[in-house]
Amino acid sequence: MNVTEALTQRTSIRQFKATPVPQNVLDEIIDAALNAPSSSNTQAYRIAVATDDVCDSIRNELSNKFSKASKIKRMPMPLKIVKGLTSGVLPDGDFNPNIAYPKELKQRSVDCGMGLYQTLGIERHDHRARERQMQRNFEFFDAPVAIFLFIHEKMGVYGALDSGIFLQSLMLAATERGLGTCAQGALGVWGSPVRRHFQVEKDYKLICGLSLGYPDEHVVNDYRPVKRTRSEVQFSTKAGAVQPVRA
Query: Do residues 139 and 186 make contact, with C-beta atoms less than 8 angstroms apart?
Result: no
Backbone angles phi, psi at 75, to 5 degrees: -75, 155
Q: 71-110: which residues touch ligand FMN (CB under 6 A)?
A: none
User: Which one of the spans 10-18, 146-154, 155-163, 229-237 is the region binding ligand FMN (CB under 6 A)?
Assistant: 10-18
- Which residue lies nearer to ligand FMN by CB, 85 or 114? 114
Decide if residue 12 touches ligand FMN (CB under 6 A): yes
**Minimum distance of ligand FMN from residue 139's CB (angstroms):** 12
User: Which one of the spans 50-58, 64-72, 121-129, 180-188 is the region binding ligand FMN (CB under 6 A)?
Assistant: 180-188
Q: 28-57: which residues touch ligand FMN (CB under 6 A)?
A: none
Decide if residue 175 touches ligand FMN (CB under 6 A): no
User: Which one of the spans 9-17, 35-43, 74-82, 122-130 is the region binding ligand FMN (CB under 6 A)?
Assistant: 9-17
Q: 222-241: which residues touch ligand FMN (CB under 6 A)?
A: 225
What is the SS3 assignment for 70-96? HHHHCCCCCHHHHHHHHCCCCCCCCCC
Decide if residue 20 touches ligand FMN (CB under 6 A): no
Question: Of these, 15, 38, 137, 169, which contacts ligand FMN (CB under 6 A)?
Answer: 137
Burial letters 101-117, b for 16+ CB under 10 A, else e:
eeeeeeeeeeeeeeebb
Question: For residues 63 and 135, what is the distance between their CA atoms, to the nearest angstrom?
Answer: 6
- Which residue lies nearer to ligand FMN by CB, 20 or 115? 115
**Minimum distance of ligand FMN from residue 185's CB (angstroms):** 4
User: Which one of the spans 35-43, 56-64, 176-184, 195-203 is the region binding ligand FMN (CB under 6 A)?
Assistant: 176-184
DSSP string over 128-176: HHHHHHHHHHHTGGG-SEEEEEEEEGGGHHHHHHHHHHHHHHHHHHHHH
Question: For residues 10 and 171, what is the distance between their CA atoms, to the nearest angstrom?
Answer: 7
215 DSSP 8-state letter: B
Question: For residues 217 and 120, what is the distance between their CA atoms, to the nearest angstrom?
Answer: 13
**Minimum distance of ligand FMN from residue 73's CB (angstroms):** 18
Instruction: HSE, CB side, 13 Å, CA atoms: give it for residue 149.
Output: 27
**For the chain, how long is the longest CA-to-CA vector?**
75
Decide if residue 182 touches ligand FMN (CB under 6 A): yes
Binding residues for ligand FMN, rule: CB under 6 A, are 11-12, 14, 112, 137, 182-186, 208, 225
